[in-house]
Structure 1
């Protein structure tokens, strides 16, 4: 299953440079890297990245993460994918800009 991580530009750049990441400050504080499903991604962007520019959306296949990916109840009682490991750049299938259009982030066609 494909899951998605929203990165700020500096976080995406650091992952490219270092080859791995423990995530954003909130991920490090929580002890896992927050991901969203395709259906959850827009709500995640709206709630946690409202009006933020220079974001990137990265796609990761859950099979590549093995047992380090856990599905846990979070916002609204829904289960979200959480990675209890370092995310490696080699696990990112693709990453592209997540533009802000008329005050809302525009996701790739067919994702949300």
Structure 2
């Protein structure tokens, strides 16, 4: 399993999480009882399925090694194992955070103009 995963988060939610020092998950995460994450390879599918057409998002890099006690790999879309956090995401497990929008085709538009996902070589 990979040591890094990603979470797409609404910009306002991320600002509140930073102020609180912990991310408690989106409305969907809380309803499901865990925080949904994606590996770099899963990220494009997650973005196009759940975030297409969204503005003011943050791509949050998560260090999974810091979450050993609350992390589970569970089957989801297509039977792939996805990382799920059963608890809150502490800021100590957060790496790079990048602002972006995802167009209607699921393509990310980062603030620096790039459209490359982490799976394609850019953090």
TM normalised by structure 1 equals: 0.91
69, 75, 78: which one pairs with 2:71?
69
C-alpha distance in structure 2 between counterparts of 1:98 and 1:2, whole Å? 19
Q: CA deviation at 1:101?
A: 5.4
* Counterpart-to-counterpart distance in 2, 1:67 and 1:77: 23
Indicate the residue corresponding to 2:8 in structure 1: 6
Quote the offset at 1:91 in angstroms: 1.3
Structure-to-structure mapping, 1:25-64, within 5 angstroms: 25-64=27-66
Gaps of 5+ in 2: 109-114
Matching residue of 2:111: none
What runs of 5+ residues in structure 1 fail to find an aligned partner? none
Task: Name the CA distance, whole Å, in 2 between partners of 1:100 and 1:86.
Answer: 25
In structure 2, the CA distance between the partners of 1:67 and 1:13, relative to structure 1 (3 Å rule), is: same
Structure 1 residue runs of 4 or more that deviate by more than 3 Å after TM superposition: 99-103
Q: Whose RCO is larger (CA < 8 A, sep 6+)? A: 1
Mapped partners of 1:100, 1:75: distance in 2: 20
The separation in 2 between residues aligned to 1:68 and 1:82, in whole angstroms, is 8
Higher percent of residues as helix:
1
Residue in 2 aligned with 1:95? 97
Matched-pair contact (CA < 8 Å) for 2:66–2:93:
yes
| CA RMSD, 1 decimal | 1.8
C-alpha deviation, 1:102, in angstroms: 7.3
> Which range is displaced more, 85-94 or 47-56?
85-94
What residue is the counterpart of 2:112 in the other structure?
none
Deviates more, 1:8-17 or 1:97-106: 97-106
